[in-house]
Amino acid sequence: LRRDGLTAARLPAVTRDGVTCHLLANIEIQSELPGIERCGAQSIGLFRSEFIVPSDADALPDEDTQCAAYQAVMAASPDHIVTIRTFDFSSDTLPSDIREVEPNPALGLHGVRWWLAHQATARTQLRAIIRAAETGRVRILLPRVTCLSELQAARQLLDEALASLGMVGLPTKHIELGAMIETPAAVFIADRLARESDFLSIGSNDLVQYLLASDRGNERVSYLQQSLHPAVLASLKVIVAAAGAANKPLTMCGEMAAQPACAFALLGLGIRRFSLSPAALPGFKSTLRRLSARDAEQFVARALTLDTARAVEACAETYLNA
C-alpha cells in the first residue's frame, strides 16, 4: 500500500473519468516542509500558524520572527502560494504562560474571536504575513468564523496593516482573505461569507465536531465523528453552492477526505481542491485515481436522500466495490 501511495504521488491527480483535482498540504510543523512535493502537493493549502508558538512560550513571536517563519513556509511551497491560517487558539491551547481559563474552551474565545480580541497580536501577525508575501503569494485564512462581522473586522485590520506598510494603492492581489467554514453558523451564512471572501476553506474536523455537538478529542463520543452524517452532507452541499454562486475557490481542509467513502462523496459534491496532511496525500491521490466523478455525482444524489451515516457508507461501498 505504501509503495502504491508513493508511486501515485508522482502521477497526476485525475479521476478515472478525467476530472483533475488540486492537491495541497496541511502543514503544522517545520519538519513537514521538505517532503511536501514528494507527497504530491502542488501547494500549501493550510499552514496552522499557531504551531510556530512553542507550547511553553511566555509571549508570542515578534513580527520579524513570524515573518521569517512564514517565508520559510513560502519557500517550501512548490508553487510559492501558501494559505496561512491566523492563530487558531482556544483558551486551553494557548502557550502555558498566557493560558486563560474558560469553562468550555470549544465554545469560548477561540479562533478568529480570540484573534480579534487581541488586536495588537492580530496586527503583528498580519504585518509579518504581508511582509512574507513579498516572496510569494499569500492567502490569509480565518479560523472558526461564526459572523460576517468577524470577516469584515479582519478585512479592516488587513487594510490597516497594508497601509502601515505603505502598501495602500499598490496591487495587493497576491494577498487574499478567506474564511474557514467549520461552524454551523458559517454554513448558514456561507453565501454572505463567500461574497465578502476571496476564497473559502472547509474545516471538516471542526465542522463535524460542532454539527454533531461532540468533542473531537473525547473518546466517549468518538462514535459521533460521523463525516457522512446527513447533516454533514447537507452542510457540504450548501457550502459548495455558496462558493459556486459567488465564484470563489473552495478547498476541503479537513482530514475526512482521507477516507475513500468520504473522498467519493466530496468529489460527487463537486469539490476539486483537497488539502490534507502530507502523510495522507499519496493514499488520497491513489484513491482519487480509482474514482469516477460521474459515479460520485450519482452516489451523492442518492446519499443526500439517506437517513444515517451508516446507510451512506453502505451505499458508498456498493459503488466502491463494484
Residues that bind ligand PEP (CB under 6 A): 46, 48, 88, 182, 203-206, 253-254
Smallest distance from ligand PEP to CB 93, Å: 10
Q: Smallest gap, in angstroms, from Cβ of residue 98 to ligand PEP? A: 20
**Contact between 52 and 63 (Cβ < 8 Å):** no
User: Where on the chain is the footprint of Mg ion (CB under 5 A)?
Assistant: 182, 203, 206
CB of 204 to ligand PEP, least distance (A): 5
Question: 278 or 293, CB closer to ligand PEP?
Answer: 278
The pair phi, psi for residue 221, each rounded to 5°, is -115, 20
* Choice between 66 and 204, CB closer to ligand PEP: 204
226 vs 248: CA distance, rounded Å? 27
C-alpha cell of residue 49: 500558524
Are 273 and 178 within 8 A, CB to CB? Answer: no
3-state helix, strand, coil in the chain (%, to 5): 55, 15, 35
User: Which of residues 177 and 253 has its CB atom nearest to ligand PEP in the complex?
Assistant: 253
To ligand PEP, the closest distance from the beta carbon of 84 in angstroms equals 13
Judged by beta carbon distances under 5 to 8 A according to partner kind, the member of ligand PEP, Mg ion, none in contact with residue 309 is none
CB nearer to Mg ion: pick between 50 and 206: 206
Closest distance to ligand PEP from the beta carbon of 106 (Å): 11
- Taking CA atoms, 170 is separated from 1, 135, 157, 162, 164, in Å, by 49, 16, 17, 9, 13
What is the distance between the terminal CA atoms of the chain, rounded to a whole angstrom? 20
Selection from ligand PEP, Mg ion, none that 48 binds (CB < 5 to 8 A by kind) is ligand PEP
Nearest of 23, 32, 37 to residue 52 by alpha carbon: 32
Q: CB nearer to Mg ion: give 65 or 225.
A: 225
